[in-house]
Amino acid sequence: MQYILENGSPRDLGAIERALATLDPSALVDVDPSGGSMRISTVATERELLATLSDAGIADPAPHLARVPSDCCGGCGG
């Protein structure tokens, strides 16, 4: 799943990456330099992701997290 974390609170990208790696070693995180929103790709559930973001120091991440609709066409089999 892909999620967007809007720029709602200060974040430590390193802390988020470390926490996510514990939950999902294949997770990817990148930041939009123009607006500061963060894209997260992970196999974790939304509940697991919210808990991990809280553990990484983001206070009340739920209002700032949005799931991105899948753009998978199924063509690659992945």
Question: Where in the sequence is the domain holding 35, given as residue range(s)?
Answer: 2-68
Q: Is 75 contained in some domain?
A: no
Please report the pLDDT score of residue 9 as a whole number: 61
Number of folded domains that form the chain: 1
Please report the pLDDT score of residue 10 as a whole number: 63
**Residue 54 in this model has a pLDDT that exceeds 70:** yes
Helical spans, DSSP H, in the chain? 13-23, 46-55
Q: Is 76 contained in some domain?
A: no
Please report the pLDDT score of residue 44 as a whole number: 94
Query: Rounded distance, CA 43 to CA 48, Å?
Result: 10
Nearest Cα neighbor of 19 from 66, 67, 51 is: 51
Please report the pLDDT score of residue 32 as a whole number: 85
- pLDDT, mean of residues 23-46: 90
Could you report the per-residue pLDDT of 6-27, keeping only the tens digit for each?
976 667 888 999 999 999 999 9
Q: Is 37 contained in some domain?
A: yes
